[in-house]
Amino acid sequence: MFDLLEELALARRQNGLSQEALASRVTVDRQAIYRLETGVGSFALLLRVMAALEYHVTGLARGMTLADQLENRRRALKLSKAEVARRADIMVNTVSAVEKGKGSAASALKVLAAIGTSRMARKKPMQVMMSPLRIGEKDKRFTPVALLTALEAVFGPISLDPCGHVESPVVAERRILLSEDGDGLRDDWSGKFCYMNPPFSGATAWLKRASEMHAKGAVDVVVGLVPAKTDSVYFQTDIVPNCDVGFLRGRIQYGSATGAEVDKRNRAPFATMLIAWGASRQEIEHLRSLYPSVWMMHERARPREGVREDALVVSEFG
């Protein structure tokens, strides 16, 4: 029988992490991890731990997070929230909270037990799928210099890289580095133009953080490079109505640590997309003329109507 808590504890140990080390990764104390592994804690923390351990449940339903998967599983079974609540012996509003990534871990586990399948198991981390790289380097997926050049031509210098890497070719006024105890999911963002290339296994958390930081006015423009997982509930309900989405042509070839050339060993096995918050239509058109992509633009009002005078649209890319 599939036991998610036991599976997560096993994954932690297989990664060579103590409870204290994992706690440091998700910015909580060791006691919070101890309690979570016994079933006590928030569902939000459970999702953060799953992302930190690159743990994804297969055999359940599509979705970038367990919350997405539970909602998609309920819909696939054509069950109402009331029926799931009855099966799990919880309140209907608790089911709604779980599907939004909120509530308690215990409630989420009850929903999982009520509508899960006998085929549930751990899916191999996404980075392993992408691993022409040597062990220890599999997380180094740097943005190609050609894309960075196009972005800077349109939006200007990068003010903030919230999920930076010491070897990344991204040049930013400020970088939040995990190696320096920084955490872009915790630390405040600021600046005119923020660019992020987040860990793909935890992309949804970064998308939500970008939406939050842009909505509060901490940053003027945010652009993120993420997998083109268009089946995600969060993508369909929150990203599409509020952001511009650019689907990159072909499979992206990641850059090298030096930034001098692409890394031929590291090619994405799936489609990727750019998501932009706060961009003007002129800026999106200009970016499309510089980098091969197809864009889906939202219809909401755009506070930033203008575009830099030295960043005028020339023509659509090839």
Query: Residues spanned by CATH 3.40.50 within the chain?
Result: 145-296
Tokens 């549930």 belong to 120
pLDDT of residue 234: 84
* Long-range CB contact pairs, 60-63, < 8 A, 24+: 60/112, 60/116, 60/117, 60/120, 62/231, 62/232, 63/231, 63/232, 63/233
The predicted structure's pLDDT at residue 138:
45
Give the model's pLDDT for residue 153. Answer: 96
Structural contact between residues 95 and 88, judged by C-beta atoms closer than 8 angstroms:
yes
What 3-state DSSP class applies to 230? Answer: coil
pLDDT-based confidence at 47, cuts 50/70/90?
A: very high
The pLDDT of residue 310: 47
Instruction: Look at residue 185 in the predicted model and tell me its pLDDT.
Output: 85
Please report which confidence band the pLDDT of residue 180 belongs to, taking 50, 70 and 90 as the band edges: confident
Judge residue 261's burial from the number of C-beta atoms within 10 Å of its C-beta, 0-12 exposed, 13-18 middle, 19 or more buried: exposed
- The residue among 304 and 163 whose pLDDT is bigger is 163
Average pLDDT, the chain: 84
256 falls in which pLDDT band (50, 70, 90)?
A: low
Classified by CATH at the fold level, domain 145-296 comes out as Rossmann fold (3.40.50)
**Domain 4-123 is found in CATH 3.30.1280.10:** no
Res 163 pLDDT > 70: yes
Q: How confident is the model at residue 258 (pLDDT cuts 50, 70, 90)?
A: low
What pLDDT is recorded for position 137?
44
Q: Which of the given ranges, 25-29, 60-64, 140-144, 167-171, has the highest pLDDT on average?
A: 60-64
68 closest CA partner among 192, 229, 182: 229
Residues of CATH 1.10.260.40 domain(s) within the chain? 4-123
Residue 265: φ, ψ to 5° = -85, -10
More confident residue, 255 or 224: 224
- Does 139 score more than 80 pLDDT? no
C-alpha distance from residue 119 to each of 4, 80, 116, 122, 299 (Å): 13, 23, 8, 10, 41
pTM greater than 0.85 (yes/no): no
